Amino acid sequence: MILDAARKALATGPLCDPCLGRPFADRSFGLTNDQRGRALRTTVTLAEDEPFEPGEESDCWVCEGQCSRYDLWAERAAEALAEVDFSTYQVGTRAPPLIEENDALLRAEAGLPEDAGELFKSECNREVGKRLGARTGTEVDFERPDVLCMLDIQRETVEVQVNPAFLYGRYRKLERDIPQTEWPCSACGSTGKELAPDGGERNCRGCGGSGYRYDDSVEGLTAPIVREAMDGSEGVFHGAGREDVDAKMLGTGRPFVLEVKHPRVRDIDPEAIESAIEESTDLIEVEGLRRATHTMVERVKELEASKTYVLTVRFAEPVSQSNLEEVCEALLGETISQRTPNRVDHRRADIVRTREVYAIEGTLEADPAADAESNASEGTTGSLREGRRATIEVHGAGGLYVKELAHGDEGRTEPSLAGLLSVDIEIEALDVLAVEGEDEPFERSEFFLD
C-alpha cells in the first residue's frame, strides 16, 4: 500500500525527497522526511528495476525548492537573534498558500488521507529549529521559549518575538505612605497639568506636576533598575497582594515578581541587582531575587496566602491586660464574618466573607497621651495591668481585614476585638510581618530557572 502511494506520488512530477517523505511522516519513527523520501524512491526503483534518479529539490513542484533552504533560514534566524540573550527558542513558519495547496494535492493524487503525514510548515519548524539550536547552542521549548522566530517564506523575512523575563523576590517597605505600585493622580489623569484660571496650563495642585499621588512606590524603586539590567522595554510589578499604603511591610517581606518585557539580556546577577536597589534607596529592601518562570506570576497573584500583622491600637476607655487576653483567646481559631469594609465598599462588591484567625496576642503598652494614673498601674512584673494603648499581633487567613477585626467597622465584622471588649478602638499603626502560602511555600523549585 505504501509503495503504491509512493508510485502515485512520484508520477505527479518532479519531487524532492523531503516532499515525497512528508506524507508518510507518521511511519517509522526516528527518520527524517528526507530519509523517508529517499528510502521510498530507492525501494520503488528497485521494485520497478529502473535506473535510480535522485530527487532534485530545486525542481520540486510541491515546495518549489524551499526544502533545500533550511540551512539558509536557520542562518537568517541566528542573525536576527544576534543581539538577544536567550537559552530557549521556538520556530514558527508562515507557509505560502501555494505550497499548502500543493501539499494537499500531492496527498490526493497519491490516494492518501488529507491528514496523512505532516504539513510543510511543521517540517520547516523542526528542520530549521534543529539547525538554529546547533548554531546558537540553545534548546527548543514548545511551551514558553525565551524567543520565537517566525519565518515568512513568501516575504523572505524573519520576525523575532522576545518573550518577557521574570525575577522573583521579597520586599520590605520600611516607611509608611508608599504604595506598592505607581499611583496615577486622578485629578489630572496622570498628566501632571491642570487648567489655570487664565485659560492656560499649570502644574496639577494634587500631585505637584508629577502625575502621581505619591512620589515613591515599591514598583518605582525596583522596576526601573531591573528593566535597565535586562535592557528591556518595560518593567511590570506583580505582588502577592498588597498592604495598605499607610502600612509598613516588615519581617520576612512580601513576595513579588518583576516582569521585564522585550529583554535583550537574561543572564543577570540577582545579587548585583539587590545591591543596586539597596544603594538607591533606604525606603525599601529587597532580598531573595531569583530568575523565575512565567508561571510564577500566576502563583504570586493567585496563591492563597496567610499573613501576620502587628497593630498599634488605642482604646476609648482603659482596658485591663487580663480582659484583653481573654478576648484574644476568644478570637483564637474563630471564623470571622466580614461584610465588605466601609473604606473599600466604593470599589468592591458588598458581600460577606468568612476568614479564620490562626493566632492572636495582645499586650498593653505605655501611652504618654493616656492618664498618668493608667500608665502607673503596673503589675508585679512591671507590665501594665490597665491601659488605653496596646500592640496586637494577628496571624490570619488570606483576605482577613485585620483593621476591621480590631475596630469592628460599625458591626460589619463579627466578632471583633472592639465588640468583645465593648469599647471603641482606633488604629494608630499597622505593619505586615509575614506573607506565606496557606498550604505550601511560594518558593517551590519548579517555578525558578537555574
Residues annotated catalytic, as ranges: 244
Residue 342 CB partners (closer than 8 Å, separation 6+): 409, 410, 412
Dihedral pair phi/psi, residue 59, rounded to 5°: -95, 0
DSSP letter at 33 equals: H
Residue 337 backbone class (left: φ over 0; alpha: ψ -120 to 50; beta: rest)? beta
Please give the C-alpha separations between residue 407 and each of 141, 313, 356, 424, 443, in angstroms, as whole numbers: 53, 9, 17, 7, 34
Compute the distance between CA of residue 177 and CA of residue 214 in angstroms, rounded to an integer: 8
Distance CA 254, CA 288 (A): 11
Distance of CA 276 to the CA centre of its chain: 22
Give Cα 361 distance to the centre of its chain: 35
Answer whether 217's CB lies under 8 Å from 176's CB. Answer: no
In the numeric block, which cell numbers belong to residue 71?
Answer: 540551512
- Alpha-helical runs (H) found in 162-252: 218-229
β-pairing, 335-339 vs 201-203, is: unpaired
Cα distance between residue 270 and residue 288, in whole Å: 8
Q: What is the 3-state secondary structure (H, E, C) of 256-301?
A: EEEEEECCCCCCCCHHHHHHHHHHHCCCEEEEEEEEECCHHHHHHH
Secondary structure element (H or E) that encloses residue 336, with its range: strand 335-339
Helix 33-48 to helix 2-10 angle, to the nearest 10 degrees? 90
Which triple of cell numbers denotes residue 132? 538554529
With a CB cutoff of 8 Å and minimum separation 6, the contacts of 443 are 168, 288
Give the Cβ contact number of residue 52 at 10 Å. Answer: 9
